[in-house]
Amino acid sequence: MMVELLLIVAFGGSLLTYVLGKLSSRLRNGFALLNALALVIMIGMLYGQEFERSLPFGFLGIQFSIRMNMLSWFFAATILGIGLLAVLYSFRYMKGKERLDYYYFTLLFINASMLGTVVAGDLLSFFIFWEMMSWSTYLLISLRGGGKAIFAGIKYIIMSLVGSLAMLVAIVSLYTAFGTVDIGELAVHMQSASLGLALLVVILFSITFVIINALWPFHTWLPDAHAEAVSPFSAILSAVLVRKGLYGLFLLMYVILGFSFLDRLAVGAISFSNVLAWIGAITIVFAAFRALLQNDSKRILAWSTVGQGGYMVLGVSVATSMGMAGGTFHILNHCIYIALLFFVAGAIEHRTGGIRDLDSLGGLIKKMPVAFVGGLVGIFGLIGLPLTNGFVSKWLIYKSLILEGRPFLAFAAFLGTWGTILYGYKFIHNIFLGQLPDELRDVKRVPFTMAVPIMVLVVLVFLFGVLPGIPLSVVNQVGTYMGFEPLDLNVWGIPSESGTLNVVNLLAAIAVAGFLVWLLFKTLGRSTRVDQSDNYAAGAAIPRGRYGFTREFYAPLYRIVSPYVKDFPDALFLWIADRTKALGGMTRKIYSGYVGSYVMYIVLFLAALVFVQLTWSPW
């Protein structure tokens, strides 16, 4: 009954939070935090359990069921963990804003819906939870109101509806063919399915999961959604909600079909694995250079989310134990450091009165040291520097690509990392380094309830980077559930005949290098300390007010790459939307409200029927 109770607490807690908000805002906030904490404790108690059972109700004669396994537990733990931190973070970030009862209800309801999708044991309940998640996400994206928020919400929900329709057709096709939508039973039936049905199901489900995972070319909804959503929800959106597409791909590729069956759909070099891998590679490179062109702090992180999804897909598509472990571990790592970065961006926005334009920031390192540490560590994890969690998962992905003889895909991954270094440095430099603008001299530090989630995630970035064996033991169990051989692990890394990942050696090398750098600076003489407002990037003093600290960052590079990274998929979708709107406007003219027009329509229709009868009648 634990999973059923988990869902009851999740959905019931969201509703009760809304009701309590009508009585007291403090009571609402306290209950929301306790509810989120209780869910984390409950999912922790389910670790290692594996079962499936039917529920005492269903829909249209189809029995609903729930299941728990390591794949479900892995995604449920990330959902509820980030959800808890987002609730705590929201207390100060959302203070003083309107419709807070509605906000907390929707936030918790989205977490509950995502939880429902990962414990659903049949595709119908999976679809219902998916739709609950999609529509409540639309409502929270549009929370701020105004034209841009509504536009971002509609853009998201239209693409989500396309994916939902594709999923529904796939589910109906499977039910028509086999008379069941139970995931376990479908996994057995699909092994003897016709290739035509399998290809249809693969294409339809892939459309759904590629859209929600924001992979190229269906990435276009994500930057706008992040720009308009409030920062606590941006962390959830980027860290866990978008990655439901990876959970769906896992279900499709490894649970329902199996990768050996997918190989039967291959035509020469064109296979599901190769197509997915190249989509991932294009996504990585395209998103990295699109991020370079952004001056909005949250848009940079949104494009980063798009690109990091490409790394996950690359690892998954290799279909080896190491590639699968790298892709799965990168889901967890990205969840940690991207939530951290969105919390940092939200803290800057909160304390500066809503400023997200990087050209209007700078010099906040002393004013907001917690945000600086969080931003720096988050960018380190995002880049994949040694001793951070991102290094381990990227190392696994790179190595699996090289061992499988895919050098061009590995090069795309490396190129994306170089792009990440560039826009990561821009993010840190433009917000925290350089001179402090006069209008930001009274900026205060990050509030306590916003600082706690930041520091928790900072610790996790380093903990999972220095002791990768801890999370990889869970990732190993996820891979074993899906049919992969477990990796040989220890708490410090991964022993391997083709090259060992040992964090102890990395730590020793970094310590030695750091000592040599310190020694070099000590022997070169003393430096002269100057005021923050009296320095320049090269160390030369400059008159106050003359330094445009962030303007035209990477300007020469912009001129080189901007013609080649235009977001033409977004332009195409907007063109289709404009044409559809125009067609709808023409169609509306048919309904004139004049009875004579409708009589004429009926007469013309009857005349057309008579013409068809006289022309094509066999008698």
The ranges assigned to domains in the chain are: 272-570, 571-616
Whether the CB-CB separation of 252 and 209 falls below 8 Å is answered with yes
* C-alpha span between 70 and 76 (Å, rounded): 10
- Bridge partners of 74, per DSSP, are none
Confidence of residue 381 (pLDDT cuts 50, 70, 90): very high
Closest CA to 322 of 469, 492, 475: 475
| 532 Cβ neighbours under 8 A, 6+ residues apart | 363, 366, 435, 436
Mean pLDDT of 180-193: 85
- Bridge partners of 357, per DSSP, are 296
Which of 58-67, 354-363, 494-503, 539-548 has the largest mean confidence? 354-363
Question: What's the whole-number average pLDDT of the chain?
Answer: 84
Whether 466 shows a pLDDT value over 90: the answer reads no
Amino acid at 459: V
Q: Which two tokens stand for residue 46?
A: 């389910």
Confidence of residue 79 (pLDDT cuts 50, 70, 90): very high
* C-alpha span between 602 and 310 (Å, rounded): 54
**261, 580, 593 from 586: Cα distances, Å:** 47, 10, 15
How high is the pLDDT of residue 338? 93
Read off the pLDDT of residues 18-53 as tens digits, 9 standing for 90 and up.
Answer: 999 888 889 999 999 999 999 999 999 999 888 888
How high is the pLDDT of residue 531? 66
Phi, psi for residue 54 in degrees, rounded to 5 = -85, 150
Q: Is the dihedral of CA 455, 445, 85, 396 positive or negative?
A: negative
The larger pLDDT score, comparing residue 72 to residue 587, is at 72
What is the CA 158 to chain-centroid distance, rounded? 18
* C-alpha span between 581 and 575 (Å, rounded): 10
The larger pLDDT score, comparing residue 224 to residue 570, is at 224
The larger pLDDT score, comparing residue 283 to residue 57, is at 283
The larger pLDDT score, comparing residue 143 to residue 408, is at 408
Amino acid at 265: L
* C-alpha span between 266 and 313 (Å, rounded): 18
How high is the pLDDT of residue 292? 86
Closest CA to 329 of 486, 496, 468: 468
- Kindly report the number of other CB atoms within 10 A of residue 536's CB atom: 14
Read off the pLDDT of residues 418-460 as tens digits, 9 standing for 90 and up.
Answer: 889 989 998 998 888 877 887 888 888 999 999 999 999 999 9
Whether the CB-CB separation of 300 and 291 falls below 8 Å is answered with yes
Whether 383 shows a pLDDT value over 50: the answer reads yes
How high is the pLDDT of residue 497? 52
What single-letter DSSP state applies at residue 179? S
Whether the CB-CB separation of 235 and 339 falls below 8 Å is answered with yes
Mean pLDDT of 344-356: 90
Which residue is associated with the tokens 């199901």?
201
Whether 371 shows a pLDDT value over 90: the answer reads yes
Read off the pLDDT of residues 261-275 as tens digits, 9 standing for 90 and up.
Answer: 777 777 777 778 888
* C-alpha span between 151 and 230 (Å, rounded): 15
Q: How does 453-469 read in b/e, with b if 16+ C-beta sit within 10 Å?
A: bbbbbbebbeebbbbbb
Q: Is the dihedral of CA 59, 62, 63, 66 positive or negative?
A: negative
Whether the CB-CB separation of 288 and 420 falls below 8 Å is answered with yes
Phi, psi for residue 267 in degrees, rounded to 5 = -125, 100
Whether 393 shows a pLDDT value over 60: the answer reads yes
Collapsed DSSP state (helix, strand, coil) of residue 237? helix
Amino acid at 184: G
Q: What is the pTM of this model?
A: 0.88
How high is the pLDDT of residue 494? 74
Of all residues in the chain, what percent carry a pLDDT higher than 90? 27
Read off the pLDDT of residues 199-236 as tens digits, 9 standing for 90 and up.
Answer: 888 889 889 999 998 888 888 888 888 778 888 888 89
How high is the pLDDT of residue 585? 76
* C-alpha span between 127 and 182 (Å, rounded): 12
Collapsed DSSP state (helix, strand, coil) of residue 66? strand
* C-alpha span between 493 and 496 (Å, rounded): 10
Whether the CB-CB separation of 338 and 308 falls below 8 Å is answered with yes
Amino acid at 57: F
Confidence of residue 618 (pLDDT cuts 50, 70, 90): low
Q: Which two tokens stand for residue 21?
A: 């908000």
Of all residues in the chain, what percent carry a pLDDT higher than 70? 90
Q: Which two tokens stand for residue 217?
A: 């070319």
Whether 189 shows a pLDDT value over 50: the answer reads yes
Phi, psi for residue 52 in degrees, rounded to 5 = -150, 135
Range with the poorest average pLDDT among 72-86, 277-291, 318-332, 575-589: 575-589
Confidence of residue 283 (pLDDT cuts 50, 70, 90): very high
Whether the CB-CB separation of 83 and 9 falls below 8 Å is answered with no
How high is the pLDDT of residue 546? 46
Q: How does 200-215 read in b/e, with b if 16+ C-beta sit within 10 Å?
A: bbbebbbbbbbbbbbb
